[in-house]
C-alpha cells in the first residue's frame, strides 16, 4: 500500500505541475502549450511502461497493449486531460493516472491480457477554451461535424483550426472512424460532490448520469420611478423573477432527490437603486436521472414562469438551450464494480452523478461504468479540490480488479 501511495503521489505531483497557475490552481486548455506538454508527458510514461502510445486525429492520446486471444476486443479506461480555468488537480487527470497505474500493475502481475487493454487521455471534456464540450469522447464514438467549429475562436481570437494546427493536428484531415472494438469502458473520477464524504463511503458506483435542461429566461415589464409608481401600478420584472425562483425552488425541494434545480445567474435592468426593474434575465438549470421526471418538471418550470408573467402583465421569453437526456450505466458493469468492492471489503455507495462526464457520451454505444472516490468537502473546479490519498489508491485498486475481470478472464 505504501508503495502504491508513493507512486500515485509522484505521478500526480509531476502531472499537476503542468499548467499550474499563479492562483494555486491548474489551467490546461485544449491544444494550448500546457495541454501539449501534459499529453507528451503521459505518452512518455505510457511508452516507458511498455504500452504503445499514439494520438488519434482529434488529439486523444491512447496507450494500449494488444490482447493475446481477443485482440479485436478492447477494454478501455481513462478520462480527460483538460481542466477548467483555475481548476483543481484531480478532475479528469486522476482517471487517466488511475487507469494507467491499474494497467501497469496488471501487466506486471499477470502479463499480456486476453483482450486488448487501453488507457485514454481524452483531449477535451470541459469546454473551457472553445464553446464545444466532449471533443475527445465524441470523436471516439461518432463523427463530429468539424465545420461547425471552423469559425469558432477562443477568448484571444485563436480559431479552433489554428489551435489544432499549433498543437500538431490537422483540422482538415479526415476524422478517424468511430471505434467499434471497445467492449467495455470504465472511468474512475472524483465525485465532485459531498455525498460519499457525508456517508463516510470510500467508493461510489455510478448507476446513471443525470440529464440536464438549461434555460435562459427573460421577463420584460416596465422600468419606472421607484418613488412615484404605486405598487398596484407596477410591472416589476424582478418581482416576477423572485416569484418564479421561490415557487420553483419550493417545488423542487418538495419533490426531493435526485431532482436538483439551480438559478445561477440573475441580471435586472437597469439595476439602479431608485428604478423599478423593467427587465430581468435569469438562468435555470434542472437535472434528474429519470427522463420522464425531468421532462415533467421542466414542463412545470415553463408553465409556472409563463403563469407568473401573465399574472404580473409581463412579457416572457424562454430559451431551452440545453436538453440532455439522462444516461444509464451498464447494469453488468455496475454489478461487477459492486462485487469488486464487496470482495475487497470496501464500503461503497450506489449513486448517480449530477455532473456530466465523458462516460455519458460513450454509454449509449459502449458498455460503460463509472466509479467515484470522495471529494473533500465536495469541492471541485477549484484549487481547493482534493481527495484523501488512501481513497485515490482505493479507487485504483477497484479499477485494477475490474479491468482484470474484463480483460484477463
Alpha-carbon gap, residue 141 to 361, rounded angstroms: 8
342 and 396 assigned to the same domain: yes
Per-residue pLDDT tens digits for 278-321 = 999 999 999 999 999 999 999 999 999 999 999 999 999 999 98
Task: Please identify, among 264, 295, 324, the residue that sits at the C-terminal boundary of a domain.
Answer: 324
The number of angstroms, rounded, from the C-alpha of 322 to the middle of its chain's C-alpha atoms is: 15
Report the share of the chain in percent with pLDDT over 90.
93
Task: Please identify, among 305, 324, 343, the residue that sits at the C-terminal boundary of a domain.
Answer: 324
- Which residue in 76, 129, 9, 137 sits closest to 399, CA to CA? 76
- Which residue in 102, 88, 94, 86 sits closest to 46, CA to CA? 102
How confident is the model at residue 154, as a pLDDT? 96
Q: Which residue has the cell 448507476?
A: 207
Taking CA atoms, 154 is separated from 22, 32, 36, 59, 158, in Å, by: 21, 11, 17, 18, 5
Strands (E) located in 22-124: 52-55, 61-65, 70-80, 115-122
Confidence of residue 12 (pLDDT cuts 50, 70, 90): confident
How confident is the model at residue 335, as a pLDDT? 98
DSSP letters along 225-262, please? ETTTS-GGG---HHHHHHHHHHHHHHHHHHH-TT-EEE
272 and 330 assigned to the same domain: no
Alpha-carbon gap, residue 240 to 268, rounded angstroms: 11
3-state secondary structure of 34: helix
104 and 125 assigned to the same domain: yes
How confident is the model at residue 23, as a pLDDT? 87
236 and 365 assigned to the same domain: no
Residue 268's Cβ-side half-sphere holds a number of Cα atoms within 13 Å equal to 18
How confident is the model at residue 84, as a pLDDT? 95
Task: Please identify, among 289, 306, 324, the residue that sits at the C-terminal boundary of a domain.
Answer: 324
Per-residue pLDDT tens digits for 76-130 = 999 999 999 999 999 999 999 999 999 999 999 999 999 999 999 999 999 999 9
Per-residue pLDDT tens digits for 142-175 = 878 899 999 999 999 999 999 999 999 999 988 8
How confident is the model at residue 7, as a pLDDT? 64
304 and 317 assigned to the same domain: yes
How confident is the model at residue 156, as a pLDDT? 96
218 and 132 assigned to the same domain: no
How confident is the model at residue 148, as a pLDDT? 93
Print burial letters for 223-254: b (CB count within 10 Å at least 16), e (below 16).
bbeeeebeeeebbbbbbbbebbbebbeeebee
Q: For residue 117, what is the domain's CATH number?
A: 3.40.630.10
How confident is the model at residue 13, as a pLDDT? 87
| pTM listed for this prediction | 0.89
3-state secondary structure of 391: helix
Taking CA atoms, 52 is separated from 7, 10, 117, 123, in Å, by: 21, 22, 11, 18
273 and 154 assigned to the same domain: no
Q: What is the mean pLDDT of the chain?
A: 95
pLDDT over threshold 60, residue 1: no
139 and 215 assigned to the same domain: no
Per-residue pLDDT tens digits for 32-77 = 999 999 999 999 999 999 999 999 999 999 999 999 999 999 999 9
168 and 220 assigned to the same domain: no
Alpha-carbon gap, residue 15 to 41, rounded angstroms: 8
Q: For residue 315, what is the domain's CATH number?
A: 3.30.70.360
Number of domains in the chain: 2
Domain of 292 in residue numbering reads as: 211-324
> What's the whole-number mean pLDDT along residues 377-397?
96
Which grid cell is 40? Answer: 507528451
171 and 52 assigned to the same domain: yes
147 and 224 assigned to the same domain: no
Lowest mean pLDDT among 25-34, 140-149, 228-237: 140-149
246 and 310 assigned to the same domain: yes
Alpha-carbon gap, residue 55 to 48, rounded angstroms: 16
Amino acid at each position: 500500500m505504501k508503495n502504491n501511495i508513493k507512486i500515485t503521489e509522484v505521478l500526480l505531483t509531476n502531472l499537476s505541475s503542468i499548467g499550474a497557475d499563479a492562483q494555486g490552481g491548474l489551467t490546461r486548455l485544449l491544444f494550448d502549450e500546457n495541454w501539449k506538454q501534459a499529453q507528451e508527458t503521459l505518452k512518455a510514461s505510457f511508452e516507458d511502461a511498455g504500452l504503445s502510445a499514439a494520438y488519434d486525429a482529434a488529439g486523444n492520446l491512447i496507450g494500449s497493449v494488444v490482447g493475446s486471444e481477443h485482440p479485436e476486443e478492447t477494454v478501455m479506461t481513462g478520462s480527460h486531460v483538460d481542466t477548467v480555468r483555475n481548476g483543481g488537480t484531480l478532475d479528469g487527470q486522476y482517471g487517466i493516472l488511475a487507469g494507467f497505474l491499474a494497467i501497469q500493475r496488471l501487466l506486471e502481475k499477470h502479463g499480456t491480457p486476453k483482450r486488448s487493454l487501453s488507457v485514454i487521455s481524452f483531449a477535451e471534456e470541459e469546454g473551457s477554451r472553445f464553446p464545444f464540450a466532449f471533443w475527445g469522447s465524441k470523436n471516439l464514438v461518432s463523427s463530429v461535424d468539424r465545420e461547425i467549429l471552423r469559425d469558432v475562436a477562443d477568448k484571444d481570437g485563436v480559431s479552433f483550426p489554428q489551435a489544432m494546427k499549433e498543437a500538431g493536428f490537422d483540422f482538415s484531415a479526415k476524422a478517424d472512424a468511430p471505434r467499434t472494438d471497445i467492449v467495455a469502458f470504465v472511468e474512475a473520477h472524483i465525485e465532485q460532490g459531498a455525498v460519499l464524504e457525508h456517508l463516510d463511503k470510500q467508493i461510489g458506483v455510478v448507476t446513471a448520469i443525470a440529464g440536464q435542461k438549461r434555460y435562459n429566461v427573460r421577463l420584460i415589464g416596465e422600468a419606472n420611478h421607484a418613488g412615484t409608481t404605486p405598487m398596484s401600478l407596477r410591472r416589476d420584472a424582478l418581482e416576477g423573477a423572485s416569484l418564479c425562483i421561490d415557487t420553483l425552488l419550493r417545488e423542487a425541494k418538495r419533490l426531493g432527490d435526485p431532482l436538483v434545480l439551480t438559478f445561477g445567474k440573475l441580471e435586472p435592468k437597469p439595476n439602479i437603486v431608485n428604478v423599478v426593474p423593467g427587465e430581468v434575465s435569469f438562468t435555470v438549470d434542472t437535472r434528474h436521472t429519470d427522463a420522464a421526471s425531468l421532462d415533467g418538471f421542466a414542463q412545470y418550470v415553463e408553465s409556472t414562469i409563463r403563469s407568473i408573467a401573465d399574472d404580473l402583465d409581463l412579457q416572457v421569453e424562454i430559451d431551452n438551450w440545453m436538453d440532455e437526456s439522462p444516461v444509464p450505466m451498464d447494469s453488468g458493469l455496475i454489478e461487477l464494480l459492486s462485487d469488486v468492492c464487496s470482495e475487497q471489503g470496501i464500503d461503497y455507495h450506489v449513486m448517480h452523478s449530477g455532473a456530466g462526464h465523458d462516460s455519458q457520451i460513450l454509454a449509449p454505444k459502449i458498455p460503460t461504468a463509472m466509479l467515484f472516490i470522495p471529494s473533500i468537502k465536495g469541492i471541485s473546479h477549484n484549487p481547493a479540490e482534493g481527495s484523501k490519498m488512501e481513497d485515490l489508491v482505493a479507487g485504483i485498486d477497484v479499477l485494477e480488479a475490474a479491468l482484470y475481470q474484463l480483460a484477463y478472464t
